[in-house]
Structure 1
Amino acid sequence: MIVVAGEALIDLVVSAEGERAVPGGSPANVAVTLARLDQRVRLLARIGPDEYGRQLTEHLDANQVDLAWAVRADQPTSVAVATLNAAGQASYEFRLEGAADWQWTPQELPDLTGTPATALHTGSLALALAPGAQVLEDLLARERQRDALTVSIDLNLRPSIVSDRAAEQERVRRQVRHAHLVKASDEDLAWLHPDRSAADVMAEWRDAGVLCAVVTRGGDGAWLLAPDGTLHEEPAVRTTVVDTVGAGDSFTGGLLAALADLDALGDRPADRLAAVTEPQWEAVLRQAATVAALTCARRGADPPRRAEVEALLTTPN
């Protein structure tokens, strides 16, 4: 079982066709992607009591995301306004003040000891916004120390909300030390470290104990720095882009699902990830890129199901 922790919010998507409210939030999108790829997934989220919270619950239930550890919160649901340009690329504005997602207390988190969890994934605003961010960071630290599951982080930075670059540099530097796998976009790194190359940052993460570092590069594909120091590059899968909402999240879900299929998630994470061969890393990246491309080909954060991914992966170029 893969445990995903973090926000489940509503994306209010604004386009030339009007407005529509759809379930979203980076960790929730990752959880849905994993479930559609036939992975058992449980979401640690705080879900509000309002109509948006009901919509989120129905969406997650319909996608077989386990909500046994979800908290039924008293606070309202967060809203992200996603405005699409003519090319389908999304820019975001957030309505987060006093919302449910950021109010974690230590008592609300389960003890993962003795559970069937093989990985813990989180990231995005859940690791950036107080007071809940510190609670989740402490969870990551405990799990890294326990060495009984794989810890994964997707930076997914939001400079429009958390704009103090120096503070974010320190936060990320501190949090990646707790992770075995870290994923970021080239846009994340360009904002976080405008004077440094992605390769330099990935090498720094490796020195800090990150076993696998991944940088997505939009239409230019993705890089993966493997535990043995080998850099793998995967081109983007060609597609007709409808919009990019949820593309990065679906890439992360595709990546984790591929590793789960290889039995590369679980206890003794260093040994498991070190056992992944070079051809397997290439296949992992290819699956993640394919999942992201299929998501870009339709409206909103609507990741593909396993059969769709396998059909495209087996189609001759």
Structure 2
Amino acid sequence: MSPPTAPRIRVVGEALVDLVGDTSGRVFTAHPGGSPANVAVDLARLDIPVTLHGRIGPDAFGRLIRAHLAGNGVDLGGVVAAQEPSSLAVATISGDGEAAYDFWTTGTADWQWRDGDLPDHLPADTVALHTGSLASWLPPSATAVAALLARERIRGTATLSYDPNCRPDLMGDRAGALSLVERLVSLVDVVKVSQDDLAWLLPGQPLERIAQRWLALGPALVVVTLGGGGAYGLNRTGNVRVAALPVTIVDTIGAGDAFTAGLLAGLYRSGLLGPRGRDTIADLPAETLRDLLRNAATVAGLTCAQPGAAGPTTADIRTLRAEPQTK
């Protein structure tokens, strides 16, 4: 366990329950999830000190979420005891392991941010803040999240990270969604986005061109995950591509979140987060950036090799690296 004074990453956003259906479509298993909560859990499993700021309800699903977070080592000091019920994401898995989602979110705990639920400024031990997904673009929480990012961008003491994790069925008008997403992109230092998100937000445009467009908005680093194709990263020194970890896919639930956690964990361990992180990340040489993305792809790949969203532990990764590689 890390000492209480260790620098930490804070994650803001939803913690919900994924109801994952079997192939019959009749039996569903409850898995704690939500993109920000997944990132927090995966960081904790990688031995990175992490605090979640979210709203969790009092129902049976809320108790399940709390137990899952705490059991994996996530600090719950930023969690608000909400009175609304938990949000649900119903996931169905295709034959190739890809997950499709339906959401139950109206009137649920995640979207009801009130004054005081989020801090006016982050504690001094914070080296990075990550947010994204539903909490970053569903009202009323989106306003509070954007305001926190804007305050922290001005303060400049923590590296800011964002993953839009788009859900077109919930985001409404594409142009409005793009405007909101790009506003948040302009406030942060690190952007991780999937190629599917980009295909919906800016259809028909090459991902390299969109990455350049977003880098020009202000981030130090833009990373696009490509599913089985690996990942693409761009900073002001240039761009790199890395391959996906070759695994037998069980399901892809939480793969993007695991990639984000792997990337943030790599930046944390390299001392690249905090007040001087922005310029350093922007100027990372290609080989260093490639190593960071490879590590993130490893975390994502190991997540796909097992059911549910919880990613690998540090020990799992050490075991993988100790195994003899076959050609």
Question: Aligned residue for 2:38?
Answer: 29
Secondary structure (helix, strand or coil) at the match of 2:259 reads helix
Structure 1 residue corresponding to 2:221, chosen from 190, 195, 212: 212
Question: Aligned residue for 2:10?
Answer: 3
Structure 2 residue corresponding to 1:226, chosen from 223, 235, 247: 235
Identity %: 47
Structure 1: distance between partners of 2:146 and 2:283: 28
Establish whether residue 90 from structure 1 lines up as the match of residue 66 from structure 2: no
| Offset, 1:275 | 5.4
Structure 2: distance between partners of 1:245 and 1:175: 24
User: Could you tell me which amino acid in structure 1 is paired with residue 119 of structure 2?
Assistant: P
How many correspondences in the alignment?
316
- Per-residue CA shift, 1:53-84, capped at 9, x if unaligned? 00000000000100011000011100000011
Matched ranges for 1:166-245 at <5 A: 166-228=175-237, 230-245=238-253
User: Could you tell me which amino acid in structure 2 is paired with residue 303 of structure 1?
Assistant: G
Structure 2 residue corresponding to 1:257, chosen from 265, 283, 301: 265
Structure 2: distance between partners of 1:287 and 1:314: 15
Establish whether residue 145 from structure 1 lines up as the match of residue 158 from structure 2: no
Asked if the contact 1:226/1:232 (under 8 Å) is kept, the reply is no
Structure 1 residue corresponding to 2:110, chosen from 101, 126, 131: 101
Secondary structure (helix, strand or coil) at the match of 2:193 reads strand
Establish whether residue 127 from structure 1 lines up as the match of residue 139 from structure 2: no
Question: Aligned residue for 2:281?
Answer: 273
| Offset, 1:113 | 4.7
| Offset, 1:252 | 0.5
- Per-residue CA shift, 1:278-309, capped at 9, x if unaligned? 32211111111001110000111120001212
Question: Aligned residue for 1:246?
Answer: 254
Structure 2: distance between partners of 1:178 and 1:313: 36
Structure 1: distance between partners of 2:322 and 2:199: 34
Asked if the contact 1:287/1:309 (under 8 Å) is kept, the reply is no
Deviates more, 1:89-98 or 1:109-118: 109-118
Structure 1: distance between partners of 2:97 and 2:225: 18
User: Could you tell me which amino acid in structure 2 is paired with residue 104 of structure 1?
Assistant: W
Deviates more, 1:120-129 or 1:262-271: 262-271
Matched ranges for 1:19-58 at <5 A: 19-58=28-67
| Offset, 1:174 | 1.1
Report runs of 4+ in structure 1 exceeding 4 Å deviation: none
User: Could you tell me which amino acid in structure 1 is paired with residue 210 of structure 2?
Assistant: V
Asked if the contact 1:148/1:266 (under 8 Å) is kept, the reply is yes
User: Could you tell me which amino acid in structure 1 is paired with residue 155 of structure 2?
Assistant: R
Asked if the contact 2:242/2:294 (under 8 Å) is kept, the reply is yes
Structure 2 residue corresponding to 1:286, chosen from 287, 294, 299: 294
Establish whether residue 15 from structure 1 lines up as the match of residue 22 from structure 2: yes
Secondary structure (helix, strand or coil) at the match of 1:160 reads helix
Asked if the contact 2:121/2:151 (under 8 Å) is kept, the reply is no
Gap regions ≥5 residues in structure 2: 1-7
Structure 1: distance between partners of 2:293 and 2:319: 16
Asked if the contact 2:121/2:148 (under 8 Å) is kept, the reply is no
Structure 1: distance between partners of 2:298 and 2:115: 37
Structure 2: distance between partners of 1:69 and 1:76: 18
User: Could you tell me which amino acid in structure 2 is paired with residue 25 of structure 1?
Assistant: G
